[in-house]
A and B are shown apart, each in its own frame.
Chain A
Amino acid sequence: MLTDITLGQYFPGKSLIHQLDPRAKIICVFLFIASIFIGESYASYALMAGFVALVLALSSIPPAMIAKSLKPLWIIILLTVGIHVFTTPGRVVYEFGFLSVTEEGLRQGFLMSTRLVLLIVVSSLLTYTTSPIALTDAIERLLKPFEKVGLPAHELAMMMTIALRFIPTLLEETDRIMKAQMARGADFASGNILRRAQSMIPLLVPLFISAFRRADELAIAMEARCYRGGENRTRMKELQHTGRDWAAYGFMLVFILILVYLKFTAGKL
């Protein structure tokens, strides 16, 4: 059944990481991703790995969940390792027909794949510990300054909210229409691509009609409740940076400074 799909990957909890302001989390994730590229030595990689491990521990997200988010990407990780191991020139340690493995290659492969893994783990930590609605809010706030140059921050956020709100409803509807057409002998699963695309019409047309009807009714309901765009609108829950969030930024700053320090002193250790 379609409605069995769980939505998003928010994993509710009350950890320190959960309680951080979503804006702080988004900014820190961006800073971390940028700082990954500062690191060049084993020492800096160890520091980065340690940092991620600490955040993971603080978030009390079961590591098995993180492993699950890595699963669909293992081919890419493997490919990264392969490309670096076989294509980096340097001191050959092993020859394999026309392919040769170099010491530098091994090193590069290891570091690059570590980068990739850290990147994925950090961004999935963001979505595991932040509800979609908080993310939407944070994005709206972060984009607010760009409204002056014509970026419709409020409208984008409202669209995301409504999309999130109606995903379960439309999935349920899809399920129902599919069953109804199957009861009339529709076959969604067999035949070649063209035939299958054609067989989707009895599902898609009613689904679009219904989505438009819902959109129309929702627009009326929103207007009836005095909605007139983002102007003069306030929010029940104003996002507010607390001590925790400033601490997180401070921690992030120290982390980056150490990485920069390592880059210039430790060299290629």
Chain B
Amino acid sequence: MGEFIKIENLCHAYASSQDEQVLALDHIDLTITAGEFVAVIGTNGSGKSTLAKHLNALLLPTSGDCLINGLSTTQPENLWKIRQLVGMVFQNPDNQIVATVVEEDVAFGPENLGLPPAQIVERVETALELVGMSDYRLHGPHLLSGGQKQRVAIAGALAMQSQCLVLDEPTAMLDPLGRQEVLQTVKELHASSGMTVVYITHFMEEAAAADRIVVMGAGKVLYSGSPVEVFSQVALLKELGLDVPLAAEIAKRLRENGIDLPENIITDEELAVALCP
């Protein structure tokens, strides 16, 4: 499989309110293959949102390069192609819905692409179906729950036929039910269509659904590996102020108490099997 996202030596600097140059992203190297589901975790201020905005050319590198499907975001002529390829879902569900009716909002992207009306209708229908929101086609967005609004936002990206979905803390403002709803939708889309997914979150149970987790801190990629590899780094995660899956933490403490346990325990089930064979 090809590289869908290739970030090379990327730095992003901005001027702070005190007029100092701040490096939000500090020499990032990251490659994401087509069809991969990558979770990015890190505390607020670790640079993960800044990174997300580079993937859609909403922000441009100060130095280094960001290639989407081989297209550099630094070339102005690539801009619209990149934005069509990479769909974004943001944190606040309210502030990304443009239209007053659900289907009109999903149509917003394809309308900007200048597609013929019949094709837009078709795409909107398919997209709403894929996220399970067909019944809400004619609803006003202010009548939807947070989870439903995020699903509409996902449908908006699908209707542009994006090949990659970048979700920037899509569940931070949702209740547990809404969080499940969004994660489930993303998981299903990834499984059924092989879409590339970049999922930024600080909820560990969501990150655990990914093929790979990238840990960010202070503008750098600190660690990258499978959920099992990342979550067994209990000390690193704690030091960064991140949560650790409960089973991993208890396993670590039990090992410290002299109990012999394997290193790769991250779920309750795995701990139970190890403790009560």
A sample of 5 more A-B contacts (CB under 8 A), given A161-B99, A226-B113, is A133-B99, A217-B95, A221-B95, A225-B160, A236-B120
Known: A223-B83, A224-B83. A234 touches B120 (CB 8 A): yes
B58 touches A133 (CB 8 A): no
Known: A218-B95, A237-B117. A228 touches B111 (CB 8 A): no
Stretch in B2-10, B69-77, B102-110 touching the partner: B102-110
A-B contact pairs, 5 of them (CB 8 A): A214-B92, A220-B58, A221-B98, A234-B117, A235-B111
Known: A224-B88, A236-B107. A165 touches B113 (CB 8 A): no
B100 touches A133 (CB 8 A): yes
Known: A218-B96, A221-B95. A236 touches B121 (CB 8 A): yes
B112 touches A220 (CB 8 A): no
Determine the residue in chain B with the shortest Cβ distance to A169.
B94
The reply to whether the CB of B142 lies closer than 8 angstroms to some CB of chain A is: yes
Q: Which residues of B are at the interface with A, using a C-beta cutoff of 8 A?
A: 53, 56, 58, 80, 83-84, 87-88, 90, 92, 94-101, 103-104, 107-117, 120-121, 124, 140-142, 156-157, 160
Within 8 A of B (CB), among A189-243: 213-214, 217-218, 220-228, 232-238
Shortest distance between the CB of A176 and any CB in chain B (Å)? 13
Shortest distance between the CB of A130 and any CB in chain B (Å)? 14
Main SS at interface, chain A? helix
Known: A217-B90, A223-B58, A228-B80. A165 touches B110 (CB 8 A): no
Contacts of A79 in B (CB 8 A): none
Report the contact-size class of chain A (Cβ under 8 Å from the partner). 20 to 34
Q: How far is the CA of A220 from the CA of B89 in the complex (A)?
A: 11
Known: A223-B83, A224-B83, A237-B117. A165 touches B98 (CB 8 A): yes
Contact of B56 among A133, A224, A237 (CB under 8 A): A224
B116 touches A218 (CB 8 A): no
Please report the number of residue pairs spanning A and B whose Cβ atoms sit closer than 8 angstroms. Answer: 94
The reply to whether the CB of A93 lies closer than 8 angstroms to some CB of chain B is: no
The reply to whether the CB of A82 lies closer than 8 angstroms to some CB of chain B is: no
Shortest distance between the CB of A74 and any CB in chain B (Å)? 32
Contacts of A234 in B (CB 8 A): 111, 114-117, 120
Contact of B103 among A165, A225, A236 (CB under 8 A): A236
B112 touches A225 (CB 8 A): yes
Contacts of B100 in A (CB 8 A): 132-133, 161, 164-165
Q: How far is the CA of A234 from the CA of B87 in the complex (A)?
A: 19
Best-surrounded residue of A172, A222, A236 (most CB of chain B within 10 A): A236
